[in-house]
A and B are shown apart, each in its own frame.
Chain A
Amino acid sequence: MRDTASGHRWEGSEQFYRGAILALGLALGLAGCRTRASKEDGKPAAPARSAALAGARVAGQPPAQQDDGQWLMPAKDYASTRYSALAQINTANVAQLKPAWTFSTGNVRGHEGAPLVVGSTMYVVTPFPNILYALDLTQPGAPLKWKYEPPVLPAAQGVACCDVVNRGAAYDDGKIYYNTLDGQTVAVDAAAGGEVWRTMVADINKGESITMAPLVVKGKVLVGNSGGEFGVRGWLTALDSGSGRIAWRAYSTGPDKDVLIGPRFKPFYPQDRGKDLGVSTWPPDAWKIGGGTMWGWISYDPELNLIYHGTANPGPWNPDIRPGDNKWTAGIFARDPDTGEARWFYQWSPHDLYDYDGINENVLLDLELQGQHGQRRKVLVRPERNGYVYVLDRVTGEVLSANPFVHVTSSRGVDLKTGRLIEAPDKKTGFGHIVRDVCPAAPGAKDWQPSAFSPRTGLLYMPHNNLCMDEEGVEANYIAGTPFVGANVRMYAGPGGNRGAFTAWDPAAGRAVWSVPEPFPAWSGALVTAGDVVFYGTMEGWFKALDAHTGKELWKFKTGSGIIGQPITYKGPDGKQYVAIFSGVGGWSGAIVAAGLDPRDGTAALGFVNAMKDLPQKTTPGGMLYVFALP
């Protein structure tokens, strides 16, 4: 402990906290280890382990697979398509969609979650305090079956950078899995609602929290931490789905053995080869507090037996404090789900200057790229925060194309020979100056809000932002459990004045097909169906259905609060198709409303408040699930 505030680290208190939280973690962990051996009857089908969907531009493409009408993970399938083969609701009748029933969560923070439908039960997880509700779809109005309320430390709200959101749960083998804000992963008996296990995997006193939805692959629950604005060290961990015990943990920074880099690691580009790059691309010890968290999306290719996950921004934001490429932050890993071993890596933003977390969704497609006639490739499509839609070869990690989908000033493209992002020297952030008109802004051209892909149209439907910013680098003091950012930011609308858009993108051709401007960032997820209808929500509260081919608006409904949730569709026990969405504004973009921030300070909420000053006039907080059906 130092007497003055100029010290950079508080070793004493940090150790104290570590000890205390370790003890707590152990106690909770032990308590959570008692497994319940309950087997429920009427066990729903396991998640479809189907291979990646084939792109529509591919000749001789197989017809869309049969849809069982369930929704077992937020992205619908391992390829993360958010595509449903249900087609009762289609372009001809969607205009008649009506609310069928609603459910209030009684929670006024941002609802970024996706409901799940397993058999005849719907499951929703609320933002902090992360209550799980099970709703009975066999009864009129879908009454509550049970609720599960884990003990979650309220202090965790202090280390959640961007509202206390939760992005949903995942179902596998009779259990619902999800994460709590204070860093626990829980498994709940899907039938009876009892806790099966609960494991503390993160530590709020280091600034860690968890907001992501887990993915379950081959009996492993994959979970990553949040806290890139708190100087945490990012990781992805696998828990045994039966016992909740940690099977492996892969860090995003540090020596190879911690990153699970071994002989099987074969990155495509030479800049990613070498020993312990997670140490040598940082100033001494900076990797220990260097970020690279994993709060976003994971995809899985069962054929290649590879999972794909991004890594978030390096910390602190002020890049002058961390010269070097800062590996393995702001990139993407392919890993073996059984062991966690890294197989390849690619870095979207080496030495990231703008908080471009690389954790967005990875859509796995078999695609025939334009100009490569008759040659299908296993690709991974990634609409990335830095403004480009990347198409990678998902076997090797080679960049096949990278085209901008918004106005970009922060870089000058991607060099397809070296794979490197081409820097824009005039937009370099750091100490002692304010850089203006940096586009995209810190939340990126597209933040976490997941897109959807239809094999029928061959288009990727992306809800996204159109924001630019001014940034000023300032001092950053590392004090465990408090923010470690070192930048003042203010954001504003990009060219055109619309702060968001919903864009249909042809990944094979690398260009937009249509785009609908939105006054506010399009912060909800997208859903597309075999009825060729695409759904998303707006921050004012409109839930919209567009024609997947043309982008023409076919229907909209004004919900009670701004929408930042993930739409899903399912077939009810009555055989009817339903569409469900959370309403409930918040998140980083909506914190001005959900947390009642003061618009007079443009730097509030990491500068997002400056761009959202008028949102409080457009919507009010309040979480509600809406479910729609045809009459």
Chain B
Amino acid sequence: MRRLATGLCALALTFAALACEREERRFQTLPAKSARAQPVRLTTLQPGQSLPARSGHGPYDENAWAISEGERLFNQYNCSGCHFHGGGGIGPPLMDAKWIYGSDPQNIYDTIVEGRPNGMPSYGGHVPDDQIWKIEAYVRTLSGLAPKAAEPDRSDQMEARRSEQATSPAAPRGQKAEHPQ
């Protein structure tokens, strides 16, 4: 009996607390310098005076081995089925300078994790975070955004040429896209 009373009491208190939260007027606001105050931005347009944008960093952006792993994963997770070797198909090209959802490492990571509304699958939770960062690092090489030293020097993709013998060695990987902004 006593236990029941305690239980009821606790329950009542919980409700009361909930009700309090609803009615509470907070006199303290969130700290002004939240993490999003200097975000990675998707656009250059800002309300009022321009504030600096942060540029994100991927853990593997300069690491040649991780980038080559990223290339392998790009094929194995079927990114290549929709984007091919950067020229696009179902998904938009990834080798050009046009980005709908941003070219910053953080933007690309977010695109892969969250998915995008017009057909980009959301890979978050399906692929380990570490692999996503490797894929991100590889994606940036497609449009020449990665440091040259870290880029894969030769692509194993099917080259658009008649025969191995008919062309001079190391056919250029297509011209580099201009960097955005």
- Contact in complex: B75, A475 (CB < 8 Å): yes
The answer, yes or no, to whether A599 is at the interface (CB within 8 Å) is yes
Question: A130-170: which residues lie under 8 A (CB-CB) from chain B?
Answer: 154-161
Of the stretches A66-74, A293-301, A479-487, the one at the interface is A479-487
The answer, yes or no, to whether B131 is at the interface (CB within 8 Å) is yes
The answer, yes or no, to whether A97 is at the interface (CB within 8 Å) is no
**Chain B residues in 8 Å Cβ range of A485:** 81
Question: A489-547: which residues lie under 8 A (CB-CB) from chain B?
Answer: 489-490
Query: Contacts A6-B76, A154-B118, A488-B157 hold; do A598 and B87 have CB atoms under 8 A apart?
Result: yes
The answer, yes or no, to whether A10 is at the interface (CB within 8 Å) is yes
Query: Contacts A154-B117, A157-B118 hold; do A610 and B89 have CB atoms under 8 A apart?
Result: no
The distance in angstroms between the C-alpha atoms of A6 and B77, with both chains bound, is 9
Question: A441-482: which residues lie under 8 A (CB-CB) from chain B?
Answer: 470, 472, 474-475, 477, 479, 481-482
- Contact in complex: A595, B92 (CB < 8 Å): yes
- Contact in complex: A603, B96 (CB < 8 Å): no
- Contact in complex: B119, A154 (CB < 8 Å): yes
**Chain B residues in 8 Å Cβ range of A595:** 88-89, 92
The answer, yes or no, to whether B31 is at the interface (CB within 8 Å) is no
Query: Contacts A3-B128, A605-B88 hold; do A482 and B78 have CB atoms under 8 A apart?
Result: yes
The answer, yes or no, to whether A247 is at the interface (CB within 8 Å) is no
- Contact in complex: A606, B121 (CB < 8 Å): no
The distance in angstroms between the C-alpha atoms of A160 and B82, with both chains bound, is 10
**Chain A residues in 8 Å Cβ range of B118:** 154-155, 157-158
**Chain A residues in 8 Å Cβ range of B87:** 597-605, 609
Question: B37-56: which residues lie under 8 A (CB-CB) from chain A?
Answer: none
The distance in angstroms between the C-alpha atoms of A157 and B92, with both chains bound, is 12
The distance in angstroms between the C-alpha atoms of A601 and B89, with both chains bound, is 10
Question: Would you give the shortest CB distance from B76 to chain A, in whole angstroms?
Answer: 4
- Contact in complex: A601, B93 (CB < 8 Å): yes
- Contact in complex: A606, B158 (CB < 8 Å): no
- Contact in complex: B76, A484 (CB < 8 Å): no
Question: Would you give the shortest CB distance from A611 to chain B, in whole angstroms?
Answer: 10
* Number of residues on chain A facing chain B (CB within 8 A): 46
The distance in angstroms between the C-alpha atoms of A596 and B93, with both chains bound, is 8
CB closest chain-A residue, reference B126: A13
- Contact in complex: B95, A483 (CB < 8 Å): no
- Contact in complex: B121, A158 (CB < 8 Å): yes
The answer, yes or no, to whether A591 is at the interface (CB within 8 Å) is yes
User: What are the interface flags for B62-83 relative to A under an 8 Å C-beta threshold, 1 for contact and 0 otherwise?
Assistant: 0000000000110111100110
**Chain B residues in 8 Å Cβ range of A599:** 87
Query: Contacts A158-B119, A488-B157 hold; do A603 and B73 have CB atoms under 8 A apart?
Result: no
**Chain A residues in 8 Å Cβ range of B163:** 436
Query: B157 is contacted by which of A161, A475, A603, A609 (Cβ under 8 Å)?
Result: A603
* Number of residues on chain B facing chain A (CB within 8 A): 39
The distance in angstroms between the C-alpha atoms of A434 and B164, with both chains bound, is 11
The distance in angstroms between the C-alpha atoms of A604 and B77, with both chains bound, is 17
The answer, yes or no, to whether B102 is at the interface (CB within 8 Å) is no
Q: Please indicate which of the listed interface residues A434, A602, A606 has the most CB atoms of chain B within 10 Å of its own CB.
A: A602
The answer, yes or no, to whether A37 is at the interface (CB within 8 Å) is no
Question: A410-437: which residues lie under 8 A (CB-CB) from chain B?
Answer: 434, 436
**Chain A residues in 8 Å Cβ range of B82:** 158, 482-483
Q: Please indicate which of the listed interface residues B91, B117, B158, B159 has the most CB atoms of chain A within 10 Å of its own CB.
A: B158
- Contact in complex: A484, B81 (CB < 8 Å): yes
**Chain A residues in 8 Å Cβ range of B128:** 3
User: What are the interface flags for A1-27 relative to B under an 8 Å C-beta threshold, 1 for contact and 0 otherwise?
Assistant: 101011000100100000000000000
- Contact in complex: A477, B78 (CB < 8 Å): yes
**Chain B residues in 8 Å Cβ range of A325:** none
The answer, yes or no, to whether B85 is at the interface (CB within 8 Å) is yes
- Contact in complex: B84, A604 (CB < 8 Å): yes
The answer, yes or no, to whether A229 is at the interface (CB within 8 Å) is yes
The answer, yes or no, to whether B181 is at the interface (CB within 8 Å) is no
The answer, yes or no, to whether B90 is at the interface (CB within 8 Å) is yes
The answer, yes or no, to whether B160 is at the interface (CB within 8 Å) is yes
The distance in angstroms between the C-alpha atoms of A372 and B98, with both chains bound, is 62
- Contact in complex: A157, B119 (CB < 8 Å): yes
**Chain A residues in 8 Å Cβ range of B159:** 602
Query: Contacts A158-B120, A161-B90, A436-B163 hold; do A483 and B81 have CB atoms under 8 A apart?
Result: yes
- Contact in complex: B90, A483 (CB < 8 Å): yes
List 5 additional contacts besides A158-B118, A595-B89, A598-B95; criterion CB under 8 Å. Answer: A156-B119, A158-B82, A477-B77, A482-B121, A604-B85
Closest 9 A-B residue pairs measured CB to CB?
A: A158-B119, A601-B87, A483-B81, A604-B87, A602-B160, A5-B76, A600-B174, A157-B119, A482-B78
**Interchain residue pairs with CB less than 8 A apart (20):** A1-B126, A3-B128, A5-B131, A155-B118, A155-B119, A157-B119, A159-B90, A159-B119, A229-B81, A472-B158, A477-B77, A479-B78, A595-B88, A596-B98, A598-B87, A599-B87, A600-B95, A600-B174, A603-B158, A605-B89
